[in-house]
Every structure is written in structure tokens, then in C-alpha cells.
Amino acid sequence: MKIAVYPGSFDPVTNGHIDIINRAAKIFDLVHVAIIVNPEKTPYFGIDERMNMLKAAVGGIKKAKVDSFDGLLVDYAASKKACAIVRGLRAVSDFDYEFQMALTNLRMCPEIETIFIMTDYKYSYLSSSLVKQISSLGGNVSGLVPDSVLKKLKSRKRS
């Protein structure tokens, strides 16, 4: 059984992330979509909110499971018996950070490969930060995020 971990902040999950999860699920038997609990940056949405939005969004993808983790990613991946870490690559600007992370993780855990999936061109400009900014300034983000996120962003604006 080929198991992968797709880690991230998912603050919030976007349709770009969902595209990567769908495509990873075609390659692997099981994809653990793993939300980091304590990133260095303070998240906009708490861990429970991010988990709920992601669960609602990937409910239809049978081979994907939503989970959370803290500590080292390679330790988490090893605990799930994953052979790969999946990351999405948008533009060249992602490369430096991803290259550094992939090589650091490989040094710590040579058994786990990092696999990059190119983001669909439709989402190549999309990021969670842009979504939060547009939404908080009153813009429309429908089509960019799953419905579960759209609802949450709207309720956040009202409160």
C-alpha cells in the first residue's frame, strides 16, 4: 500500500489544494492531508476550524484522510508509514523554499521522498493569503475556495 502525506497550513484550504489532493489520490492508495497545528505564523483559523473546512471539502475523495500534526513532518510521515511527502508547486517563486524543505527532510529521513505536483494553471496564482486578503476587504472568492471555506469566511466577516 502506497501512503503519502500532504502537509500544509491550509489556512484556509483553497481549490488549488483540493486539485493537488485529487491528483495525489490517483497516484497513492492513501493520502493523509495533514494540517500543521503550531506553525511559526499565527493562523487566521484555529486548528478545529481548518480541520472542519478540510474534512467537508475532501469528504468525497475516498483515498484522502484529514489529520493534524505538530513536531517534525518526517516523524509524522514515518508514523503514518508514508513513503512520500506531497507538495504542490505553483511558480518558480515556490522553488527555493520547497527545495530547502525537501532536501532537509531527505537528510533527516532518506526513506521518505518528496514528490512535487505542479498546480493546475487555473490555480497557479492562488494562495491562502490572497484569499484571506480579498475576503477581508469585501471581495468575492467564490470559485477559489471550497463551499465550506466560503461559508466560514462569510460568517467571520459578519462577526
Residue 73 interacting with ligand PNS (CB under 6 A): yes
User: Residues 6 or more apart from 142 whose CB is under 8 A from it?
Assistant: 150
Check: CB of residue 113 under 8 Å from CB of residue 84.
Answer: yes
Based on CB atoms, which residue is closest to ligand PNS, 95 or 154? Answer: 95
CA–CA dist 71, 64 (Å, integer): 22
Question: Of the ranges 4-12, 44-52, 58-66, 147-155, which one interacts with ligand PNS (CB under 6 A)?
Answer: 4-12
Closest by alpha carbon to 19, among 121, 141, 148, 97?
Answer: 121
Closest by alpha carbon to 128, among 49, 25, 24, 28?
Answer: 49
- Is 128 marked active-site? yes
Judged by CB under 6 A, the residue of 3, 37, 89, 101 near ligand PNS is: 101
Based on CB atoms, which residue is closest to ligand PNS, 89 or 159? Answer: 89
Kindly name the residue from 32, 50, 87, 90 that is annotated as catalytic.
90
Identify the residue whose cell numbers are 467564490. Answer: 142
Binding region for ligand PNS (CB under 6 A): 7-9, 36, 39, 72-73, 101, 104-105
Q: Which residues are catalytic?
A: 17, 41, 90, 128
